[in-house]
């Protein structure tokens, strides 16, 4: 009923200007006696409130904007006196003011602020009146739903027997003022640092903690105490007053690194360890082997590697019976054996020979299925064996492209092209770890066809000449001078090109020659198989000979 009564009073004041005693009998606000501006009459009055809702118990107002135009000429009700009333809240933050008068400006607008003040939840009906015209809007006054309120942890979660520690309570939805209790005792000076962190000083416990013992208490937080029914959440056994000689503490770890494969026996030293414990490295639980109050032995579990990149992580221990945990600045680092390539042997092969190649190095996986061997861009499909230092693999068929060089086998001054032995990168990857190594041009493929592309133009086109349409017959002799050998071509049938393979186990072009009578110096004394391929426009033939150094 109250809004109606106020509105009636307002109407009486605004309309009945000559009414004597209106001011004196109006308990709220004196009403201006100025006559309405010329052109008065009916008004179209609109109201808008920003925001459209207020919080119960809040202090922020809504701004109510009144706009009025005259019905007669649709002009702004400039200078009009407008009486505002509300059924809930107040136009004054300091007192219960339900009525307010504003004078509209040149654009026919005016504003007032509506405060929730002591209002309970509900809808504030706001009326604006000029003479006998009325406009209306509603402003919700509502209970604010706080963000979800909960506790997750107290850190640290233990301390001395008399309290006094400053702890952080983490969770969510914290809204000051709050009350924090440890057991039955309220912590003084609890402060909401953020919606997720409360800082509090641990109070002296209600009962003396026995010597050498500990007293575990619940930690409770009551949130937004000034609300009608503040919520409480509790961490059962969230804090321990400790009178034990040693609290839980990690002081050392040895070794502080080990293989990603796990199996490393690690000794953690400290105080307050109490079986059963959980040991974590980087959040990953490890296998606990033994526990004494000052030493834990744990064996690491394997971790997964990506791209040969082992992880590391902080060491923590939790006494499972009490839930007491300790972290530390110490970390355990996982290691991985890097993969190194030394060499392939043999280090060269004919393009379609596919011989067995032995690759030596370190960090190779124990299983051939974990090995990937690439010869250039070609992946070997036949990894035969793999140990930490040796892999046996069949070289793949090489289809090129081969490197080429210019040649002029018919000595006509016009260059052709010929394939030459071509080095490719040899790459070995451990598929289990992602570790890999590459020998740049670590393997050479030898082309089957090394003839010069001009070989057919003169001899074939001429129909006769030196070649005479018959392939040469390759042969050679040699003379040995220590590690140096002079090779002499004795091929018959008019060869015009020569390709020598000196039989050294090298991924180097020095093992090959296109000269007719080459000199080659070997790195080591030993037995070598030499191949000479002699050719002309009609074809090639190959001579193979084994030589011994010294003879």
Sites of contact with Ca ion (CB under 5 A):
408, 410, 412, 414, 454
Closer of 326 and 420 to Ca ion (Cβ): 420
In the bound state with Ca ion, the residue whose beta carbon lies nearer, of 410 and 418, is 410
Other CB atoms within a 10 A radius of the CB of residue 259 amount to 15
Residue number with CB closer to Ca ion (131 or 454): 454
Pick the closer one to Ca ion by CB: 28 or 455: 455
Which positions ≥6 away from 125 have C-beta within 8 Å? 3, 86, 87, 88, 136, 138
The residues near 478 (Cβ < 8 Å, ≥ 6 apart) are 485, 486, 487, 488, 530, 545, 547
> In angstroms, what is the minimal distance from the CB of 414 to Ca ion?
4
Q: Which is nearer to Ca ion, 118 or 412 (CB)?
A: 412
In order, the DSSP letters of 339-400 are PEEEEEES-EEETTT--EEEEEEE---SSGGGEEEEETTEEPS-EEEE-SSEEEEEPPPP--
Identify the helix (H) or strand (E) that includes residue 48: strand 43-50
**Closest approach of Ca ion to the CB of residue 497, in Å:** 11
- By beta carbon distance, the residue nearest Ca ion is 454
Least Å from the CB of residue 417 to Ca ion: 10
Nearest by Cα to 262 from 311, 226, 295? 311
In terms of DSSP H, where are the helices of 147-301? none
Cβ proximity to Ca ion, 410 vs 491, nearer residue: 410
Q: Are 417 and 404 in contact (CB under 8 A)?
A: yes
User: At its nearest, how many Å lie between Ca ion and the CB of residue 509?
Assistant: 22
In the bound state with Ca ion, the residue whose beta carbon lies nearer, of 222 and 410, is: 410
C-alpha distances out from residue 468 to 309, 328, 434, 459, 464, Å: 65, 88, 58, 7, 5
The Cα–Cα gap between 374 and 391 comes to 13
Beta carbon of residue 482, minimum distance to Ca ion (angstroms, whole number): 37
Distance in Å, CB of 403 to Ca ion, minimum: 20
Q: How far is the CB of 416 from Ca ion (least distance, A)?
A: 5
Closest CA to 454 of 421, 408, 502, 386: 408
């Amino acid at each position: 009923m109250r809004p109606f009564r106020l509105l009636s009073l307002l109407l009486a004041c605004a309309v009945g200007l000559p009414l004597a005693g209106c001011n004196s009998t109006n308990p709220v606000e004196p009403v201006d006696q100025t006559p309405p501006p010329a052109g008065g009459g009916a008004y179209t009055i609109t109201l808008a409130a920003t925001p459209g809702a207020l919080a119960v118990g809040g202090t922020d107002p809504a701004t109510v904007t009144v706009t009025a135009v005259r019905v007669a000429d649709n002009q702004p009700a400039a200078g009009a006196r407008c009486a505002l009333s509300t059924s809930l809240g107040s136009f004054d933050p300091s007192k219960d003011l339900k009525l307010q008068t504003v004078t509209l400006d040149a654009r026919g607008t005016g504003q007032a602020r509506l405060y929730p003040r002591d209002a309970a939840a509900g809808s504030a009906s706001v009326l604006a009146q000029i003479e006998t015209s009325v406009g209306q809007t509603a402003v919700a006054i509502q209970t604010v739903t706080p963000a979800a309120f909960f506790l997750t942890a107290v850190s640290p979660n233990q301390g001395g027997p008399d309290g006094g520690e400053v702890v952080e309570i983490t969770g969510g939805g914290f809204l000051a003022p709050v009350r924090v209790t440890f057991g039955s005792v309220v912590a003084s000076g609890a402060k909401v640092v953020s919606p997720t962190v409360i800082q509090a000083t641990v109070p002296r416990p209600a009962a003396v903690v026995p010597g050498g013992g500990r007293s575990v208490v619940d930690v409770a937080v009551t949130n937004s105490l000034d609300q009608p029914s503040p919520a409480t959440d509790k961490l059962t056994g969230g804090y321990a007053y400790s009178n034990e000689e040693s609290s839980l503490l990690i002081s050392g770890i040895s070794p502080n690194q080990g293989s990603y494969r796990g199996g490393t026996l690690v000794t953690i030293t400290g105080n307050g360890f109490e079986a059963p414990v959980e040991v974590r490295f980087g959040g990953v639980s490890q296998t606990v082997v033994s526990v004494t109050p000052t030493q834990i032995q744990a064996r690491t579990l394997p971790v997964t590697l990506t791209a040969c990149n082992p992880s590391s992580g902080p060491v923590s221990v939790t006494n499972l019976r009490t839930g007491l945990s300790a972290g530390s600045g110490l970390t355990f680092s996982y290691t991985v054996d890097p993969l190194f390539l030394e060499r392939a042997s043999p280090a060269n092969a004919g393009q379609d020979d596919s011989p067995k190649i032995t690759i030596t190095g370190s960090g190779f996986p124990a299983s051939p299925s974990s090995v990937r061997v690439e010869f250039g861009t070609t992946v070997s499909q036949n990894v035969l064996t793999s140990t930490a230092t040796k892999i046996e693999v069949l070289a793949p068929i090489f289809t090129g492209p081969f490197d080429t060089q210019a040649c002029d086998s018919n000595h006509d001054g016009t260059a052709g092209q010929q394939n030459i032995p071509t080095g490719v990168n040899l790459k070995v990857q451990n598929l289990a770890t992602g570790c890999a190594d590459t020998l740049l041009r670590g393997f050479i493929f030898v082309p089957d066809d090394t003839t010069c592309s001009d070989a057919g133009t003169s001899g074939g086109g001429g129909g006769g000449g030196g070649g005479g349409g018959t392939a040469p017959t390759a042969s050679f002799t040699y003379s040995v001078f220590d590690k140096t050998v002079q090779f002499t071509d004795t091929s018959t049938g008019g060869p015009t090109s020569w390709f020598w393979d000196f039989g050294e186990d090298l991924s180097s072009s020095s093992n090959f020659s296109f000269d007719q009578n080459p000199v080659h110096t070997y790195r080591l004394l030993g037995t070598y198989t030499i191949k000479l391929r002699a050719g002309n426009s009609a074809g090639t033939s190959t001579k193979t000979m084994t030589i011994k150094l010294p003879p």
